[in-house]
A and B are shown apart, each in its own frame.
Chain A
Amino acid sequence: MQPPLPTTKLPAIQLDAVELTLSSAAGPVNILKGVSLIVPTGQTVALTGPSGSGKSSLLMVAAGLERPSGGRIQVAGTDITNMGEDAAARFRRGRVGIVFQSFHLIPTMTALENVAVPLELNGVDDAWERARAELKAVGLGDRVEHYPGQLSGGEQQRVALARALGPRPQILFADEPTGNLDSSNGQAIADLLFGLNAERGATLFLVTHEDSLARRCQRVVRLESGRIVNDDMAAAAMAPA
Chain B
Amino acid sequence: MSNLPLAWKMARRELRGGLKGFRIFFLCLLLGTAAIAAVESLSDAFLTSLRDSGQTFLGGDVSVQLVHRPAAPAEERFLQSYGRTAHTVSLQSMVYALREGRQAERELVEVKAVDGAWPLFGAPGFTPAQNLRDILHCEDDGICGAAAEQTLLDRLHARRGDLIRLGNATLRIIAVLESEPDRISTGFSLGPHILISTKALSGTALEQPGSLINYNYKVAFSPTAEKQGATIESFRADAAKSFPDANWQIRDRSDAAPGIRRFVEQVSMFLTLVGLTALGVGGVGASESVSAFLDRKRFDIAILKSLGADGRLVFLTFFLQVMTIASVALVIGAVLGASAPFLLARFYGDALPLPPALGFYPRPLLLAAGFGLLSAIAFSVPPLGRAREIPPASLLRETVSPNRGRLQPVYLLASAAAALGITGLMLALSPSPLYAGEFLGGAIVLLGLLRLVASALTWGLRRLPRPRSPLARLAMGDLTRPGAATKGVVTALGLGLTLLATITLLDRTMAAEVNESLPSRAPSFFFVDIQPDETAAFDRTIAAFKSGTDYKRTPMIRGRITSVNGVPSAQVKVDPDVKWALSGDRGITYAATPPPGTVLTSGAWWPADYQGETLISLDQEVAKGLGMKLGDRMSLNVLGRQIDGRIASLRKVDFRNGGQNFILVLSPGLIDKAPHSFLATIRVAPKDENAMYMAVTEKFPNISTVRVKDAIAQVNTLLQQLAQGIRAASLVTILAGLLVLAGTIAAGARTRLYDATVLKVVGATRLQIALVYVLEYGLLGIATGVIALGAGTLAASLIARQILDTSFVFDARAALWTVVGGGAATLLFGLFGAIAALNARPARRLRND
Contact = CB atoms under 8 A, between A and B. Distances in A.
B445 interface: no
15 contacts: A66-B842, A86-B766, A90-B763, A98-B762, A105-B758, A107-B481, A113-B473, A117-B759, A121-B470, A122-B763, A147-B400, A148-B400, A149-B399, A149-B401, A163-B762
Most chain B CB within 10 A, of A92, A98, A107, is at: A107
A113 B466 contact: yes
Interface string A45-64: 00000000000110010000
Interface-centre pick from A92, A93, A107, A108 (highest chain B CB count, 10 A): A108
Nearest to A93: B763
A122 B478 CA distance: 22
Contact of B841 (A85, A93, A122): A85
A148 B478 CA distance: 15
A106 B474 contact: yes
B477 A102 contact: no
B473 A109 contact: yes
Nearest to B398: A149
Contact of A118 (B757, B762, B768, B842): B762
A38 interface: no
Given A107-B400, A149-B401, A92 B762 contact: yes
A-B pairs, top 10 by smallest CB distance, nearest first, are: A108-B477, A93-B763, A66-B843, A149-B400, A118-B762, A86-B765, A60-B843, A117-B470, A65-B843, A108-B481
Interface in B726-777: 751, 754-755, 757-768
> Majority SS of interface residues in chain A?
helix
Given A121-B763, A148-B400, A106 B755 contact: yes
Interface string A104-134: 1111110001001110111000001000000
B504 interface: no
Interface string A66-102: 1000000000000000000110011011100010101
Contacts of A94: 763
Nearest to A20: B843
A107 B849 CA distance: 16
A4 B477 CA distance: 33
A85 B760 contact: yes
Contacts of A148: 400
B847 interface: yes
B762 A108 contact: no
Given A65-B846, A106-B755, A163-B762, A86 B477 contact: no
A56 B844 CA distance: 11
A100 B760 contact: no
Contacts of A86: 765-767
A121 B768 contact: yes
B400 A113 contact: no
Nearest to A163: B762
A109 B474 contact: yes
Nearest to B469: A120
B477 A60 contact: no
A147 to B, nearest CB: 8
B717 to A, nearest CB: 53
B480 interface: yes
Nearest to A122: B763
Interface string B73-89: 00000000000000000
Nearest to A147: B400
Interface residues of B, number: 34
B847 A57 contact: yes
Interface string A143-177: 00001110000000000000100000000000000
A92 B763 contact: yes
B759 A56 contact: no
A89 B755 contact: no
B470 A108 contact: no
B841 A66 contact: yes
Interface string B806-849: 00000000000000000000000000000000000111001101
B400 A89 contact: no
A116 B767 contact: no
A89 B481 contact: no
B474 A108 contact: yes
A147 B843 CA distance: 25
Interface centre among A56, A102, A109, A148 (most CB of B within 10 A): A109
Interface string B467-488: 0111001100110110000000
Nearest to B765: A86
Contacts of A85: 760, 765-766, 841-842
Given A56-B847, A120-B470, A104 B768 contact: no
A239 to B, nearest CB: 29
B843 A89 contact: no
B463 to A, nearest CB: 14
Contacts of B762: 92-93, 98, 117-118, 121, 163
Contacts of A120: 468-470
Given A57-B847, A113-B470, A117-B470, A106 B477 contact: yes
Interface in A20-56: 56
Contacts of B474: 106, 108-109
Contacts of B843: 57, 60, 65-66
A122 B754 CA distance: 21
A100 B845 CA distance: 12
A147 B473 CA distance: 14
Nearest to B768: A121
Given A65-B843, A118-B762, A122-B763, A104 B466 contact: no
A108 B458 CA distance: 14
Contacts of B758: 104-106
Given A90-B765, A118-B762, 12 more contacts: A65-B760, A85-B765, A85-B766, A89-B763, A93-B762, A94-B763, A104-B754, A107-B400, A116-B470, A117-B470, A148-B400, A149-B400
B767 to A, nearest CB: 7
Contact of B477 (A104, A109, A163): A109
A108 B764 contact: no
Nearest to A120: B470
A163 B755 CA distance: 15
Among A85, A106, A116, the one with the most B-chain Cβ atoms within 10 Å of its Cβ is A106
A94 B762 CA distance: 9
A90 to B, nearest CB: 6
Contacts of B847: 56-57, 60
A105 B315 CA distance: 35
B758 to A, nearest CB: 5
A94 B763 CA distance: 9
Interface in B438-491: 466, 468-470, 473-474, 477-478, 480-481
B206 to A, nearest CB: 81
A65 B761 contact: yes
Contacts of A98: 761-762
Nearest to A121: B763
B475 to A, nearest CB: 10
B502 to A, nearest CB: 35
Nearest to B400: A149
A120 B467 CA distance: 12
A108 B764 CA distance: 17
B233 to A, nearest CB: 73
B96 to A, nearest CB: 78
Contacts of A60: 843, 846-847
A180 to B, nearest CB: 11
Nearest to A87: B765
A148 B754 CA distance: 14
A120 B764 CA distance: 10
